[in-house]
Structure 1
Amino acid sequence: MKKTITSTLCCILLLLAVISCTNNKKDNNTQNESSASAETGSADKASRIIEYTNLVVDMANSHNSYLKNILSNTEQIEKGLRNPKNLFAFTGVITPHLIQAGLRNMNGVTIEKPVDELGKENQAYFKTQITQYNTIFEKLQNNYKQLDDYLKAQDYKDDNGTKGYLMIDTIRNTVQKLYTGKLVLMKKVNEVADAAEIVVLKDSPLKDYIIAMKTDMKTFRNFIDLLADNGSNYAKIKDKAQAGYRELENSQTKNAALNIENAKKANKDGQYKRFYESFHDLLLRTKKTLRDAGTSGKLTKTDIDDLDRDYDGLIRNYNYFNQ
């Protein structure tokens, strides 16, 4: 399950506002004006595609914590059903809160209606996949509510937890279907958005900032995966982990010091600074985590979950920059 979650989190896409930079290109030569107009049209189309795919990613990201909390609750509930006489068996089981995101953006693009710029084939694909995903997600919410009602009514006292175990299995299977569906969606999103990104970033004055942030996020994601895959035996990867940390630290220092004049012109300097300030803070927390792991010889599930949350924070700050 962990690898599935990780794969989904890696899908970060762009929502860029660089069309004005293309529109500002002027030339007295008619041929150049015609060429610039064509480039503007291509960039407009690419930006619309990215606006839509970014909504899909926002939706997927907004569901990550909810799904992880659902799975965490099923583990705790399952333990409680094995020992229902314990007064504290279900203490701490909190109904997960879903933060809705990715439904509509400020330009009126909605996730249920893929933009025309995608082309008919991709429009049909996204409409079908989003509908299927939402149907499964609603099923999960209903399944969890039934389990929640089952616990509140203490019906496990009537059937020794039999129905509860069945509902937990159903919930876990449904979550896995959602993870699988998200991976399918993200594969298509990457395919479509990568092509659009090349067009949008071609002459963008924000290109260096975007590449810096994306590179650092990818490196940090790979770093987390290294720790997650070897957490039970940290000593085995200690040297590699320390080297990876130093690489992140050096990159943060370098990219935080980039000339931000172009970012200022686009009113993006504050968002860029915020990204690298938060990156600096999470590196300090990571340093402490590695020190503790060096002492104990392992990384806990909580350690990895905290790193995942830090990564989610980078995603949010990155998306703020691109709004």
Structure 2
Amino acid sequence: MRTFICSFLVIAMFVSSTSCNNTSGKKPGASEYSENSAESASHIIEYTNLIVDMSNKHNSYLEDVVNNTTKLEEALKHPNDHYRFITINKPFSAPDFHQFNQKVKIDEPVKELSSPDKKFFKDSITKYQGLFATMQATNNRMHEYITAEDYKDDKGSKGYAIIDTLRGQIAQLYSLKSAIVKKVEVVADASEQIILKDSPLKEYIIAMKKDMGNIRSFIDLLGSEEKYAGIEAKAKAQYDSLEKAQAEHAQINIDNAKKANEDHSFNTFYDDFHKLLLNARKRMRDAGEKGHFESYDLESLDSDYDSLVRDYNNFNS
């Protein structure tokens, strides 16, 4: 189950997993934006950040739903074990809130995008939002089924059908999200090159993006093997490298960040990076004693990573 979830989470968090190490090279399809002004590039980044925020916000919800289908599947095999059913908690998905003066909206691609890209984002985001709403409705039906204990009447047949439907819908969501994120990567990278060219914030952005890429790889490594012993040496080496990077980058001169009123965002990023390292160290120790990582260990680190993505986006907002 961990492999199924992570394979999509990696691409969903595009900010670091796919583009962090590309600070100079161009990607196919990016040339049409290479002559944009810094202001136009900034508008595009503002729009793509909304997509990243939505993606990250949905990740934990989707993961919880996937985990619940597994729990229900096991519970249906033991219909008389009430405890198995009451531990299937309905995940919470916070509604989308927009500031009253927010000009950029996720369902209205900015005019600075090319016509094909505007159409792609308009169509894809509309489809994704519709699929997500449909999946949520199916998830609600699953929890109504559990609450009413209808499995006692149908011997689990409807429950298994709901599980299959949910898994199919989530697979569609991940597939569509993958396509959206790949497009975001191309568009955002091209725009970031323009913004970074003469930006006084270039050093901070490059440092944060590089660190996020390495952190994502580190967390994925921890979830890649059933037995921790198989990756322990490599995990410790990557941890040491992250610890060194955090210490070095947290000491970058922040004078330029202060001038842009972004020193707080920068410091918050590296404070949260430090907290992630403390969390990772504890969970690596536990895994060494138990011989493996629990799913909740990895979910906790994923949550820490989400915080870094938000910090990064706040720095660039």
- TM-score, with normalisation over the residues of structure 1? 0.87
Aligned twin of 1:168: 163
* Alignment-mate amino acid for residue 257 of structure 1: Q
Query: Percent identity at matched positions?
Result: 44
Task: List gaps (5 residues or longer) in structure 2.
Answer: 17-33
Residue 290 (1) aligns with residue 284 (2):
yes
- In 2, distance between residues paired with 1:189 and 1:209? 21
Distance 2:266 2:284 in 1: 27
Q: 1:153 is matched by which residue type in structure 2? A: A
1-structure distance, mates of 2:161, 2:72 = 12
Higher-Rg structure is 1
Residues 321, 48 of structure 1: alpha-carbon distance in 2 compared, 3 angstrom cutoff = same
Residue in structure 1 matched with residue 200 of structure 2 by the alignment: 205
1, 8, 11: which one aligns with 1:8 = 11
1:36-60: per-residue Cα shift (whole Å, max 9, x none)?
Answer: xxx9971111111111111111111
2:54 is matched with 59
Residues 10, 218 of structure 1: 8 Å contact kept: no
**Higher relative contact order structure (alpha carbons within 8 Å, sequence separation ≥ 6):** 2
The residue that corresponds to 1:126 in the other structure is 121
Report the equivalent of 1:188: 183
Distance 1:169 1:247 in 2: 42
Question: Which of 244, 255, 266 is the aligned partner of 2:260?
Answer: 266
Task: Say which SS state the counterpart of residue 67 (structure 2) adopts.
Answer: helix
Report if the CA contact (8 A) 1:271-1:317 is conserved: yes
The Cα of 1:226 is off from its aligned counterpart by 1.2
Structure 1 counterpart SS, 2:252: coil
- Which letter does structure 2 place at the counterpart of 1:295? E
- Within the candidate set 233, 243, 249, 1:239 is matched to 233
Distance, in Å, in 1 between the alignment partners of 2:93 and 2:99 is 16
Which residue of 126, 149, 152 maps to 1:154?
149
SS at match of 1:71: helix
Pair 1:78-2:73 in alignment: yes
Could you say which residue in structure 2 is the equivalent of 1:307? 301
Q: Is the 8 A contact 2:5 2:63 kept in 1?
A: no
Task: Return the letter of the residue paired with 1:110.
Answer: K
User: What amino acid does structure 1 have at the position aligned with 2:156?
Assistant: G
Contact 1:55 1:104 in 2 (8 A): no
The offset of 1:292, in angstroms, is: 2.1
2:105 aligned with 1:110, yes or no? yes
**How many aligned positions are there?**
297
RMSD: 1.9
Structure 1 residues 4, 40: CA separation in 2 closer, same or farther (over 3 Å shift)? closer
TM-score (norm 2): 0.89
Matched, 1:253 2:223: no
CA deviation map 1:193-244 (0-9, x unaligned): 11111001111111111111111110010011111112x2222222111110
Report what 2:136 is aligned to. 141
Which whole-Å CA distance do the structure 2 matches of 1:106 and 1:253 have between them? 38
Q: Which runs of 5+ in 1 are unaligned?
A: 14-38
Q: Is the 8 A contact 1:56 1:102 kept in 2?
A: no
Q: Tell me which amino acid in the other structure corresponds to 2:110.
A: V
